[in-house]
């Protein structure tokens, strides 16, 4: 993050939402074949949302002056995410993608609203 000096998380949010959409589509279509290339594609699809959410978090952490508040919200989000993850056992893995898309979209709208007020 220090090298690229990303100041606004909009692009990272859009890449995060796109990677979640790709993950949902791949899960819906049955996944990739069990070949070395298919396993690599699976790893990329499963880990790209983690990369982009980390970029969003670190960008927001760098732009906010109150690190304690940001870390508290991050902890709350991690706990809530862990609870929501158990829904995948009942509703299925694809539902978890849709839930993440909805929640990250709400976070993006919130961020756009608060940055417009500044």
pLDDT in tens, 101-110: 999 999 899 8
Tell which residue, 112, 81, 106, has the closest CA to residue 17. 106
Q: Which domain holds residue 110?
A: 10-117
Share of the chain above pLDDT 90, in %: 35
3: in domain: no
Assign 24 to helix, strand or coil. helix
Residue 109: the pLDDT is 92
HSE-CB of 33 using CA atoms within 13 angstroms? 3
2: in domain: no
91: in domain: yes
CB 88 within 8 A of CB 24: no
16: in domain: yes
75: in domain: yes
Assign 48 to helix, strand or coil. helix
Cα 43 from Cα 30, distance rounded (Å): 15
80: in domain: yes
Domain total for the chain? 1
31: in domain: yes
Q: Residue 84: pLDDT band by 50, 70, 90 thresholds?
A: confident
5: in domain: no
Assign 12 to helix, strand or coil. helix
């Amino acid at each position: 993050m220090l090298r690229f000096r990303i100041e606004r998380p909009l692009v990272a949010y859009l890449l995060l939402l796109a990677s979640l959409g790709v993950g949902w589509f791949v899960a819906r279509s049955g996944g990739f074949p069990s070949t070395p290339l298919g396993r690599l594609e699976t790893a990329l699809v499963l880990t790209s949302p983690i990369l982009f959410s980390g970029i969003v978090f670190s960008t927001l952490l760098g732009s906010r002056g109150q690190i304690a508040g940001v870390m508290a919200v991050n902890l709350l989000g991690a706990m809530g995410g862990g609870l929501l993850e158990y829904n995948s056992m009942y509703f299925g893995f694809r539902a978890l993608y849709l839930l993440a898309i909805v929640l990250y979209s709400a976070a993006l709208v919130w961020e756009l609203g608060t940055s417009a007020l500044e």
